[in-house]
Structure 1
């Protein structure tokens, strides 16, 4: 009888403990999903965690099923903070980058919010089983914060026992992510990694430190004064308060709309992006100049403030010494001049003039391409008015400035005058330092240009007026046979026996810009110092009288 009663009490005791365990599981005091008992007493774990976050560029969020049952995440929610929620299964709010919302054990789901943006500085992210209450510790399933503590959902995660108060992961640079090591529930279990592995097991490599760096990357100083800045660092830089300096007293702030024109790009310059600007009031020098980029305008003589520098044409820009002190330029270094149609560009390698070169391919807003610069040095006789003032127009149709001081004009044997000789040549308009696309109008002081049949040759020097290597341009009018015709024909700049029919009094003869024969010349209504007018159109008596 005693044995029977003892057995009965044992059965009752076992039955009583089993009932208590089932009751406690149903209460689910921890707020987690109920643990289900299978017939063979194996416990199934339902668990999905935030496993990796790339918050700087694509806002990719990796979720991982570290349980042993599939979980349908369709009605799970992500919370970036109050008012910033999105449902994982909402196709208009969530982009599925890879994986499935029906997440199998040991599988990954990578998502990105469609409308919302994760903070690049200090942010947090919570995974919730529903949207009943984002302030409820019973609903939150996983949490992480970066950059600083204090995300609004931090207290919820701490209460749920899945995060540590005040914990956060330090910010990482562009190209890196933050990832979970799979071990615990604190910020110590997360770290930055320079090897993002979204959709795969996490790999931890030390992130490269953030690099804040903006450089001058390309300059076209001859026509448009375009300046290209490039972010070769790892963080976005706001250039609104940065300054450019061409030299003492010549400064302009990049963010000043009255001083700086934005050609392309944004003053909030992201890594790998370009900003092309041009000064609206100042001009970059066409001969010898320099350009410095400064973080502020506190002191343009301070090596602490200068960020990038380049100089061209010659050394000695006032900011060269500042750049040399800062270690971003070499003493006495400069980039040789380039012609119109070219620019100077940085090769991305070092911090001296050797890392810059001229290029015949301008690539503003894009990666620099280096092509040998073709220098076209060319000055031509463009128009001649030989009746009244003996005005001669020279034009630079090349791509570099030409100093004409020691060039000579030849009307025939014994009739020469040097362009730069103030006693022999009157400069009517323009400059003897003739820039591409510019005109110089001169007139001989002592000699006279023939009114009937004459010829005119432009020479690079006076070493030999019968030398085809020295002649640069030629024209003859009224008749063939000028003594310098044979020289010009030998040089390939005139046709044998060719001449321009005489111009009417008050008109001129002008070049059409096309070739090297008398057929490329005609009568013009006198447009000295400007583009030639209607070449070849006759001028009537009334117009002649007006011109006289």
Structure 2
């Protein structure tokens, strides 16, 4: 009896280890661009996973991974971009990743996504697998990127992803920096700048034809920007009213510029919001985040060194202390929420510590701006 118990215990432990290994060795779809039939797979697990025997499925088309890439396995955290031999519909489609060619089997399905509409052919398999909710779909403009950590599933875990984004913009000098945040080289010659009603193709402003992963280029724009109040859109074609064609967007000084609605439709900008810091501007995200919260003033400090002010504690849920060293004059304190709405304005003594009661403020990110005769500086504050 004792021997049988030990055998059963050993078998259960072995089974648990196999299951745990399977959970830890998880290859998922990380990015998908239906316009270029590009698929990125990533290993979110903790051990090496062979992928040669995996299959792509876009009913009724199928292709084995080994026929599309020489990469045979993925280490933990490793990803591979694959030029798919099966085509995707940009506006409305589905994609399933399988570990065998049993496409009706939920056990064989590794990952799944659908966009544009629901009820595609393999939705029911994903629902049976427990990784998708029936009648749901990604309601964003492509290309798509998975925003989870590997354990989360469903349409709400997908975001719009753009490889090449605006990284810096100085409206005073009409200078624009573009950066490739993806893991593959991206052609940019056919990209367009848009500052309604002025437009210019990238190929007319620089001889650089593509950007390698992580590469950044500064372009002297042939279209002019307004320093105090303007907008800028980056497009992959000259269809300026198209959310699919738009790659990136920013507006500053005020909201409701001409192309804001396109960016809102793209899912990369919130209606009525604008960058409320002094130019030049710099994107502070990693390529996957959008909106005014990820833009700051490029210059390190608009004040002289001795005029730098401090915010503490930051974050805070009760009191915010503001202190500026080496200054004996008065200034103006202004605080804005991320919709650009002013929530506080008052005089401030720059030689003393000012205590601001933030207990009634909504949780989130705020911009704290202090202006005096010596200049102005804006910093971020998080209310918890």
TM-score tier (shorter)? 0.3 to 0.5
TM-score using structure 2 length: 0.41
- Bigger strand share: 2
Which protein has greater RCO, CA pairs closer than 8 Å, 6+ apart? 2
- Larger Rg over CA atoms: 1
